[in-house]
A and B are shown apart, each in its own frame.
Chain A
Amino acid sequence: MKQRAAVLGTGQTHHAAKRTDVSMAGLLREAIDRAMTDARVGWDDIDAVVIGKAPDLFEGVMMPELYLADALGATGKPLLRVHTAGSVGGSTSIVAASLVQSGEHRRVLTVAYEKQSESNAMWALSIPIPFNMPVGAGAGGYFAPHVRSYIRRSGAPEAVGAMVAAKDRRNGSLNPYAHLQQADLTVEQVQASQMLWDPIRYDETCPSSDGACAMVIGDEASGDAAADGVAWIHATSMRTEPTTFAGRDQVNPQAGRDAATQLWHDAGITDPLSEVDAAEIYVPFSWFEPMWLENLGFMPEGEGWKLTESGETALDGQLPVNPSGGVLCTNPIGASGMLRMSEAAKQVMGKAGDYQVDGARKAVGHAYGGGSQYFALWLVGAEKPE
């Protein structure tokens, strides 16, 4: 039986296109120091460290756990690295939680990062493979055909993608850590921005960011002892599927549906839309908001866009989605998943500042990676789980 666990504190960097003022170690410590301050713990309180980062070619560091051990305070402690492509920040959080839920450790520090400015992710994602057509064109090139399929399948109006982008940028302007600060970006401006990977426009695309995110996860006694509230972990789930196989649903992948089904079951949730107060969902291209609303079971298949179009995913809507601004505002790929998990935690801890969802008691954090083949989810709450 799992032990109870809680997020004791969160921290993140000020995200930007280039953080040339810090080394990778310094970038991580900016997030770690904030998380440890928030959790009111010192290095002696940390029993183990779990780190995640984006695929190695993205920044050319193969074994960060080796050279970063000093900076992570891991001397004399277990140090693990997790790797699941773009979902890594989500799965890293879940691995860290499991080390507490298993009873193995009392407090675990977890951190995820990426310094995109040191490399070129578009190049790294488009390496021509011998014998094949050189048609790779980055993440946008990969996902754009599936976005087109979603639009065709659902009959969603063209403006929905732009509405997501304008909404997330507005939210991001309330978040002092967010990379893009575009409070006044309008739906019309998004629709007028350059078409990069038709049907995905420039303003519907996430930025390239340098940044890191960290959390301290503790056991029940640590959570009980925290003075100003923690985020109790009610359920976690992960699922995987191959990138391609005949009959694969690339718009609404089975692995994502299965991960969500398990999450709601384990968290005792029967109607996610009415029971969840806020969602931090991995949306690197705007159309993934309605796509994942369906995949996660918030809306029936083909109807996710209706929630977006009606304004119900805005900060004051029925289900605020990405109140922090999400991946569309901040995208240090290796950290983007952990930012979703920690932003969900901040909502139920009441620490989300200007983008706090009023009365948030339960929030979901979500990350996906690869060709929509890795999924990581957690549900956190202000109250202890049953």
Chain B
Amino acid sequence: MTTEAPPLSEPLEIHFDYTRSLGPVLGRFMTGLAQRRIEGVTGSDGRVHVPPVEYDPVTAAPLSEFVEVDQEGTVLTWSWCAEPVAGQPIQRPFAWALIRLDGADTALLHAVDVEAPDAIHTGMRVRVRWTDEPVGHIRDIAYFVPADAPDDQPPPPTSPAPPAAERADGTSVDTMITPIKLGYDHTVSPEESRYLRALGEGKLIGQRCPKCEKVYLPPRGACPTDGVPTTTEVELPDTGIVTTFCIVNVPFLGQQITPPYVVAYILLDGADIAFLHLVRGCEADEVRMGMRVRAQWRPREEWETSMRNIAHFEPSGEADAPYESYAHHL
């Protein structure tokens, strides 16, 4: 009995610095933080919300009655963060706490710098520690400390401040940058893994549906039309046609190929579905629908388990396929 190799997996990490427009209420809150002031907003029922909310939770009316609150407050509840991750306010074990500042009726979530879980409790009094250079960001409050902590207590390790949006001196804060980073393990199916491993040996392996007999490359393990497993493997040649294409002239963030370049649907001989790849080896304006092409493989020593082993497709010089032969693939 043979054991099949496990499915292939590769990390995928994406990140982007989103730019949040704060609007009049959070904008004023952040502007206050830059001046080491904490402002809340009064709701329709008289409660003071800190952080402020733009719309009343009871009546949905826009709120605009601001009130400054104290920089000392009470821990309403808390939990222990034993293993801080990158970007969190304190880079050693700390407490997350919901803190109701004096003068406020709602709680603010922030970090409290205490040495151990037994050094914090519900009802404990805490006060703000400001960062050295406030910019108009919630992280201007570096963290909270117990109200009776000495001022000369050595600071805990903190993570670098997130990026701040540029603004002219004296203007209010209207934008906050929120960097987002997402890490995935991109794992493919057993069928696609076999196809990719075959690509690593310079072969193109598709699968045929037992019912409609269409040949899929890459294989999917099941026919999307008939819903049945596709088990019959078919080796395909590295020749085919361009069914349709576009010429990408536009540059964009994250682009890996320098424009202009031709992205084409390639229909391999014997396949029933086309896939996207590059066409090179001729001028972009010479690429045609129905043009015969063949794969141009990278040097063998660069092969991996990837469609990138084929650097691009290029014209084979054969006569174009007649439109009628591929019209049903458009």
Contact = CB atoms under 8 A, between A and B. Distances in A.
B149 interface: no
Given A131-B192, A244-B224, A246-B225, 5 more contacts: A72-B60, A123-B16, A131-B307, A132-B308, A144-B246
Sorted from nearest, which 6 A-B pairs have the closest CB atoms? Answer: A23-B23, A144-B246, A73-B60, A198-B247, A130-B10, A246-B214
Contacts of B325: none
A221 interface: no
A151 to B, nearest CB: 10
B55 A244 contact: no
Grouping DSSP codes into helix (H, G, I), strand (E, B) and loop, the A interface class, with mixed when no group exceeds half, is: loop
Contact of A122 (B14, B214, B252): B252
A195 interface: yes
Q: Tell me whether chain B's interface is mostly helix, strand or loop, or mixed.
A: mixed
Interface string A140-182: 1100111011001100000000000000000000000000000
Given A145-B265, A245-B273, A128 B256 contact: yes
A217 to B, nearest CB: 18
A199 B249 CA distance: 10
Interface of A: 19-26, 29, 43, 57, 59-60, 70-73, 75, 115, 117-120, 122-124, 126-135, 137-138, 140-141, 144-146, 148-149, 152-153, 194-200, 242, 244-247, 249-251
A166 to B, nearest CB: 21
A148 B328 CA distance: 14
Interface string B262-278: 01110000001100111
A339 B123 CA distance: 51
B289 A130 contact: no
Contacts of A23: 20-23, 25-26, 54
Interface residues of B, number: 72
A31 to B, nearest CB: 14
Contacts of B212: 246
A132 B60 contact: no
Interface hub of A117, A128, A137, A194 (most chain B Cβ within 10 A): A137
A131 B307 CA distance: 6
Contact of B327 (A75, A118, A134, A153): A153
B21 A148 contact: no
Contact of B256 (A134, A148, A197): A134
22 contacts: A23-B20, A23-B21, A70-B56, A75-B60, A118-B18, A118-B19, A119-B16, A120-B253, A122-B253, A126-B252, A130-B306, A131-B196, A134-B257, A137-B250, A141-B248, A149-B289, A152-B289, A152-B330, A199-B246, A242-B224, A245-B224, A247-B214
Between A73, A75, A122, A145, the greatest number of chain B beta carbons within 10 A of the residue's beta carbon is seen for A145
Contacts of A131: 8, 10, 186, 188, 192, 196, 305-308
B12 A129 contact: yes
A245 to B, nearest CB: 4
Contacts of A148: 244-246, 289
Contacts, number: 183
A138 B24 CA distance: 33
A251 B328 CA distance: 11
Contacts of A135: 257, 263, 276-278
B216 interface: yes
Interface stretch (B65-73, B97-105, B172-180): B172-180
A70 B53 contact: yes
Contacts of B306: 130-132
B263 A141 contact: yes
Contact of B246 (A57, A145, A194): A145
A133 B261 CA distance: 13
Instruction: Determine which residue in A71, A131, A249 has the highest number of CB atoms from chain B within 10 A of its CB, and name it.
Output: A131
B57 A75 contact: yes
B58 interface: yes
A107 to B, nearest CB: 15
A70 B55 contact: yes
A149 B10 contact: no
A118 B257 CA distance: 25
Nearest to B259: A137
B236 to A, nearest CB: 14
A197 B284 CA distance: 12
A246 B278 contact: no
B171 interface: no
A130 B23 CA distance: 38
B16 A60 contact: yes
B289 A198 contact: no
B165 to A, nearest CB: 10
B16 A120 contact: yes
B248 A137 contact: yes
B2 interface: no
B21 A197 contact: no
Nearest to B256: A134
A60 B19 CA distance: 10
Contacts of B25: 23
Contacts of A250: 330
Interface in B49-84: 53-60, 62
Interface in B139-180: 174-175, 178, 180
A197 B249 contact: yes
A118 B245 contact: no
A195 B23 CA distance: 37
A133 B307 contact: yes
Given A70-B57, A71-B55, A196 B253 contact: no
B254 interface: yes
B23 A197 contact: no
B3 interface: no
Q: For A20, A70, A244, A246, which residue has the most chain B Cβ atoms within 10 angstroms? A: A246
A43 B59 contact: yes
A43 B55 CA distance: 13
Contact of B186 (A24, A129, A152): A129
Contacts of A129: 12, 186
Contacts of B196: 131
Contacts of B243: 149
B246 A197 contact: yes
A251 B307 contact: no
B330 A26 contact: no
Given A20-B21, A60-B178, A194 B328 contact: no
A148 B326 CA distance: 14
Contacts of B216: 246
Which of A21, A129, A149: most chain B Cβ within 10 A?
A149
